[in-house]
Structure 1
Amino acid sequence: MRVFVAGATGAVGSLLVPMVVEAGHEVTGTSRSLAGRERIRSLAATGMQVDSLDAESLRHAVCAAAPEVVIHQLTDLSGADGAANGRMRREGTRNLVEAAKAAGVSRIVAQSISWAYAPGEGPAEEVVPLDSAAAQPRARMVSAVRTLEETAAELETAVLLRYGLLYGPGTWYASGGAFAAALAGDPSARFLGSTVANDAVSSFVHVADAAGAALAALDWPDGPVNIVDDEPAPAHKWLPALAKTLGVPAPSPVAGRQEWERGALNALARSRGWQPQWSTWRTGFAAQRDIS
């Protein structure tokens, strides 16, 4: 199968490309930088230097690759700029879908998130709607996610991977990353998440398991699917464990959470055969320490 990976040098994409190649597919990947293009080529894939916010360049790249499926792993998180990432979700996704249409592609696997669900008790399944009543600034994020998913769904088959919080190599939660810097009190740390050890429930997924899900989703049915581990957990449980792994001090536990901070369930993904190597953040965090 010919596969086009948009965002092939990001935290997920850099692990995904060799997986897709090893599975026997013909892969074309994009990066905004020349160095990224060369990294893709070193993985036995075709690398293209493309800015996904440049609609014409992206259309040309996708049409030249003539893929059978497009994988959307586009983000703009390096500067911890929520507005820039929202623009990528809106404009980058629009450009990618229009390029796919021009190339005659009918299937897309798109990166979404699992913390945009409406408030409720207990972790969310995919039937829960997105949080249309959210106040700002959360409303801007949810709106961008909704736009991403609705735009992707213009293609005949759109598998929407609602990832949990990504940890592991290349993520904010890696050793030496933005989360550790924020916990350590670095005033220059740029991090969009929370460092409060409260009752807010989150779901995590190791970045390698996220990449594995994108590979598996090449032949999954249409629609959203949560890609999270088996243990949604409140911050007062997972945060001290991660802080210990990273070698930084953990904040004292406090009470309270927002009603939307509920985590998500992975039963649907597991029913399709996805089996995360790290089924819980407990072992995943420890493995991250051992790797580093």
Structure 2
Amino acid sequence: MRIFLAGATGAIGRLLVPLLLAEGHQVTALTRQDPSAIHGATAVIGDVYDATRLREVPATWPTRTTAAGEWSRRWRNWRRSPPRRRSGWCCGTGCCTAPAPGTRRAPLMADLAAAGALPAGPEITSFLHVEDAAIAAVQALHWPSGAVNIVDDEPAPASTWAPVFAQAVGAPTPSITDGTRPGWARGASNLHARTQLVWTPTQPTWRSGFAS
């Protein structure tokens, strides 16, 4: 299969590229960084926030799988109405470190914890280890179409997981806050993925995921 991958040098992307290549897929990888960091895939320099560059990208692919205008239209539609998600974060190597200077990413969990700003209230969060995210992405190429929750087995309120995370990264223990949990902050269940798609997380809980 010919696959175009954005974020190929990110926490998940750098694990995903070798998995895709190992399955025999042809990968074209979009990256803002040095393309020499991508091994085995065709690297394309670009930024998903640069609409002009995105319109040029399909012309650089070894085999064009969609017309430049159609690809740009789909991207613009996604930007106008991106998929909504419930409260969830990745854990594992690369997800809890500070972002590179000049990136558009918001402060990550370790930064918030170090600053004493990591919320520790009743909001329930689902986590997913970066390795499990990459593995699921490859497996999903063979799944039926449709939305699937890919999360670990233990949704938990921030009042439970935040102190454990702070300890794992050497940050001060956050203050537990009370309040009413918003309806959207209810986490997610991986029951469908486990029972219908035979997907099993290698890190079944954030407790071990933080430690890794």
TM-score, reference length from structure 2:
0.79
**Alpha-carbon distance in structure 1 between the residues aligned to 2:55 and 2:71:** 4
Cα shift readout 1:127-160 (whole Å, capped 9, x = no counterpart): xxxxxxxxxxxxxxxxx8881249xxxxxxxxxx
What does 1:115-130 align with in structure 2 at a 5 Å threshold? none
Structure 2, gaps ≥5 residues long: 100-106
Aligned counterpart in structure 2 of residue 275 of structure 1, from 182, 200, 210 = 200
Which position in structure 2 is the counterpart of 1:24? 24
**Alpha-carbon distance in structure 1 between the residues aligned to 2:62 and 2:68:** 13
**How has the CA–CA distance of structure 1 residues 282 and 254 changed in structure 2, closer, same or farther, with 3 Å as cutoff?**
same
Give yes or no for contact 2:86–2:186 (8 Å, CA) kept in 1: no
Please state how far the C-alpha of 1:163 moved relative to its aligned partner. 8.9
Give yes or no for contact 1:16–1:212 (8 Å, CA) kept in 2: yes
**Alpha-carbon distance in structure 2 between the residues aligned to 1:208 and 1:50:** 25
**Alpha-carbon distance in structure 1 between the residues aligned to 2:83 and 2:119:** 30
Count of equivalent residues: 199
Which position in structure 2 is the counterpart of 1:38? 36
Which position in structure 1 is the counterpart of 2:82? 148
Which position in structure 2 is the counterpart of 1:65? 62
Q: What is the letter of the counterpart of residue 188 of structure 2? A: A
TM-score, reference length from structure 1:
0.59
What does 1:88-237 align with in structure 2 at a 5 Å threshold? 98-99=70-71, 147-149=81-83, 164-171=88-95, 173-174=96-97, 178-185=108-115, 195-237=118-160
Q: What SS does the corresponding residue of 2:189 show, helix, strand or coil?
A: coil
Structure 1, gaps ≥5 residues long: 71-94, 103-143, 151-160, 187-193
RMSD (Å), alpha carbons: 3.2
Aligned sequence identity (%): 43
What does 1:251-270 align with in structure 2 at a 5 Å threshold? 251-256=174-179, 257-270=181-194
**How has the CA–CA distance of structure 1 residues 15 and 52 changed in structure 2, closer, same or farther, with 3 Å as cutoff?**
same
Please state how far the C-alpha of 1:11 moved relative to its aligned partner. 1.7
**How has the CA–CA distance of structure 1 residues 174 and 231 changed in structure 2, closer, same or farther, with 3 Å as cutoff?**
farther
Q: What SS does the corresponding residue of 1:227 show, helix, strand or coil?
A: coil
